[in-house]
């Protein structure tokens, strides 16, 4: 049993070795998105790299989407994530959605950190113009640094057509940590245990995604028979708190089926 007087590092290590999934569930994207020069951590977002154009579903339609992404902090470490998203045409030009994500952080932690982050989000997308949609959502999750919740807003611009749809997403949000725990961000083989121990702070986020959606089985007007899309994109996300910041490059691909 761990004493409440134990050092932060020993408490963290005990949590991970005892398999406490909520508290030792992951290095946060925060820890995953460490700036290699200073080992700072950031509270993670609830979305990784969303791939979606401005188009919404017809009322009553449902879309099931799977995405995979690779992430790398500039001068920092790297990781991979996967997202499963379900969206539904709730009413005219409005989608409601729910998604779950998991991220794996590459590398070996000096404290044997369990290298996964788990997150979920509920959101809405409203088509304002045929080429413009607004998005918003609220999510949260668990990491080695504790829990977090994260609201976000976004704008999507796209050129919708039957062949290849280019889109640009601009998004921003904040990640608010709670029940926080210190995280050792030192790397095995180069850093001693306890040298780089930090707690995730409230983190502001802003970024963009440039992507392409290729419709499969497109029809007009909707609703249509079963159809789908292939999607890909590249993104940049800036994380910041109290004058500190880090940039994260991401590359993602995925597919959606609509029925």
Q: What is the CATH number of the domain that holds 245?
A: 2.40.160.20
The predicted pLDDT at position 219 comes to 67
Kindly report whether the global pTM for this prediction surpasses the value 0.85.
Answer: no
Q: d(Cα 197, Cα 207) in Å, to the nearest integer?
A: 27
Cβ atoms within 10 Å, residue 18: 11
Q: pLDDT at residue 224 above 70?
A: no
**pLDDT, tens digit, 9 for 90 and up, residues 163-221:** 999 999 999 999 999 999 888 777 777 777 777 788 899 999 999 999 999 999 866 66
Count of structural domains, the chain: 1
Q: Which domain holds residue 54?
A: 8-258
In a domain, 252, yes or no: yes
The arithmetic mean of pLDDT across residues 141-145, rounded, is 89
Residues 6+ apart with CB under 8 A from 209: 49, 50, 51, 167, 168, 169, 171, 233, 234, 235, 252
In a domain, 2, yes or no: no
The answer to whether 242 and 217 have CB atoms below 8 angstroms apart is no
Report the share of the chain in percent with pLDDT over 90: 59
The predicted pLDDT at position 25 comes to 36
In a domain, 189, yes or no: yes
The predicted pLDDT at position 246 comes to 84
End-to-end CA distance of the chain: 52
Of 22-36, 155-169, 185-199, give the lowest mean pLDDT range.
22-36
The predicted pLDDT at position 253 comes to 98
DSSP per position, 67-96: EEEEEEETTB-EEEEEEEEEEEEEETTEEE
| Residue 109 banded pLDDT, cuts 50, 70, 90 | confident
Place of tokens 């539904």: 88
The predicted pLDDT at position 50 comes to 96
In a domain, 3, yes or no: no
């Amino acid at each position: 049993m761990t004493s409440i007087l134990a050092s932060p590092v020993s408490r963290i290590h005990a949590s991970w070795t005892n398999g406490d999934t909520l508290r030792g569930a992951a290095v946060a994207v925060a820890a995953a998105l460490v700036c290699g020069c200073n080992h700072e951590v950031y509270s993670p977002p609830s979305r990784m790299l969303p791939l979606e154009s401005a188009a919404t579903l017809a009322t009553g339609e449902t879309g099931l989407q799977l995405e995979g992404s690779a992430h790398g902090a500039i001068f920092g470490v790297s990781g991979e994530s996967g997202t499963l998203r379900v969206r539904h045409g709730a009413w005219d030009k409005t989608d409601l959605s729910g998604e779950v994500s998991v991220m794996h952080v590459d590398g070996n932690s000096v404290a044997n950190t369990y290298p996964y982050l788990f997150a979920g989000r509920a959101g809405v997308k409203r088509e304002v113009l045929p080429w413009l949609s607004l998005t918003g959502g609220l999510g949260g999750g668990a990491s080695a640094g504790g829990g977090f919740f994260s609201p976000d807003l976004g704008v999507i611009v796209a050129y919708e057509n039957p062949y290849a749809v280019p889109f640009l997403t601009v998004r921003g949000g904040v990640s608010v940590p709670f029940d926080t725990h210190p995280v050792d961000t030192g790397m095995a083989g180069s850093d001693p245990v306890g040298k780089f121990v930090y707690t995730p702070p409230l983190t502001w986020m802003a970024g963009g995604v440039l992507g392409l959606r290729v419709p499969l089985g497109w029809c007009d007007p909707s609703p249509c028979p079963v159809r789908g899309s292939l999607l890909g994109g590249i993104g940049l996300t800036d994380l910041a708190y109290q004058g500190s910041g880090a940039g994260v490059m991401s590359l993602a691909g995925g597919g959606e089926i609509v029925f």
